[in-house]
Structure 1
């Protein structure tokens, strides 16, 4: 009687996504947190406000509140979809971040600042949600990953006004955002490459399982 040859995949099935998929959205999330507070200097003043002749209240609403609200709206989508479709959510989100950063970098007046910050906030909120979703799926080292990500996030929030303020005073706030855009591009490339690798591994062909010959 003919017995079909059993097959088995090259890898053992595992729950959730591979741990290294966290790198892309995690890196982008840190950039997003940095961009949230880099709009101010360490002394509370803002080179962007001065250059665009904005009031403090207008900068707070258009530059900070809009960013936080947009991020809060996008975070649930990243959290709900990021665990199953991390790359499909992360890549468009980082693209939104990049567009928002470039709008702020070359904004001619305060009118477009709101648009740039909303786009940036939507992307940052989504990648933050994906990062949380992927960390929750980790089978080992979940606490370490969560603690490390949270610590780096706080550091990004704190260091942004200091570093951004120093650079803005020397070379202007626009150059700060251009440099930030370069880092966003790196995050986009990393997320895309890792997503392709994960897809390739998931589609790895099954190979026949060898058995000893029958007597």
Structure 2
């Protein structure tokens, strides 16, 4: 006698978000960490500080503290919402980063510099939260992904003053942020494209399991 097999569930429902969705937000997060310390240099005042006529205290408050406070405010929202809606959260966050970086590129004074840093910090904090949420939901390789991301983040923080200083000496601080804006735009495209791919794959119906012939 034939006994019908139990209905087969879609295996994608048990795997959570695909691992490659981390690529776009993760890349943007690394750029965000790079932008934290790129306003400084290890061997003296940065070109940004000199060109805008900022004191060390003003650079600290407007450039670093404002960035970190904005990022800390946006991070919890990015982590909570990003777990369920990674692309709808990551794409606007990266776009906000891009807007903030472009403001710094064309900034004429300290006031707009502060606005640019706040916008960049909000976007960076939110996209970092999305990255953490996606890594936490990985079914395999979670520890390796977290370790690699954290390691690259530390490298970005340390190298930013060095690379930023070298490029600023050669071309000016605005070019540094223009290059950063290009990388942020690339991260925006990657996050958007991979999000669309994930949406299409999620909407593709699973193939029905074949039933054996009746006995």
Scaled to the shorter chain, the TM-score interval is over 0.9
The structure-2 alpha-carbon separation of the partners of 1:64 and 1:12, relative to structure 1 and needing over 3 Å to count, comes to closer
Q: After superposition, give the CA deviation of every residue in 1:136-190 in whole Å (9 maximum; x if it has no partner).
A: 1111111111111000000000000000001001100000100100000000000
Q: After superposition, give the CA deviation of every residue in 1:90-144 in whole Å (9 maximum; x if it has no partner).
A: 0000000000000001101112000000000000000111111111111111111
* Residue in 1 that maps onto 2:72: 72
**RMSD, aligned CA:** 1.8
The structure-2 alpha-carbon separation of the partners of 1:173 and 1:17, relative to structure 1 and needing over 3 Å to count, comes to same
Tell me by how many angstroms 1:207 deviates: 2.8
TM-score normalised according to structure 2 size: 0.94
Q: Distance in 2 between matches of 1:132 and 1:208?
A: 35
* Residue in 1 that maps onto 2:214: 214
* Residue in 2 that maps onto 1:22: 22
Q: After superposition, give the CA deviation of every residue in 1:67-91 in whole Å (9 maximum; x if it has no partner).
A: 0000000000011111110001100
Unaligned residue ranges in structure 1 (runs of 5+)? 1-5
Q: Distance in 2 between matches of 1:10 and 1:133?
A: 23
Q: Distance in 2 between matches of 1:72 and 1:178?
A: 25
Q: Distance in 2 between matches of 1:28 and 1:8?
A: 38
Tell me by how many angstroms 1:44 deviates: 4.3
Q: After superposition, give the CA deviation of every residue in 1:3-45 in whole Å (9 maximum; x if it has no partner).
A: xxx9757644324211111111100000000001000112242
* Residue in 2 that maps onto 1:61: 61
Q: After superposition, give the CA deviation of every residue in 1:36-61 in whole Å (9 maximum; x if it has no partner).
A: 10001122421101001111111111
- Secondary structure of 1:41 counterpart: coil
Unaligned residue ranges in structure 2 (runs of 5+)? 1-5
* Residue in 1 that maps onto 2:85: 85
TM-score normalised according to structure 1 size: 0.94
* Residue in 2 that maps onto 1:189: 189
Aligned length: 212
* Residue in 2 that maps onto 1:3: none
Matched, 1:148 2:148: yes
* Residue in 1 that maps onto 2:168: 168
- Secondary structure of 1:13 counterpart: helix
Q: 1:7-156, aligned counterparts within 5 Å?
A: 11-156=11-156
Q: Displaced runs of 4+ in structure 1, greater than 3 A?
A: 6-12
* Residue in 1 that maps onto 2:204: 204
Larger mean CA deviation between 36-45 and 76-85 belongs to 36-45
Larger mean CA deviation between 88-97 and 8-17 belongs to 8-17
Q: Distance in 1 between matches of 2:158 and 2:40?
A: 11
Q: Distance in 1 between matches of 2:74 and 2:154?
A: 20
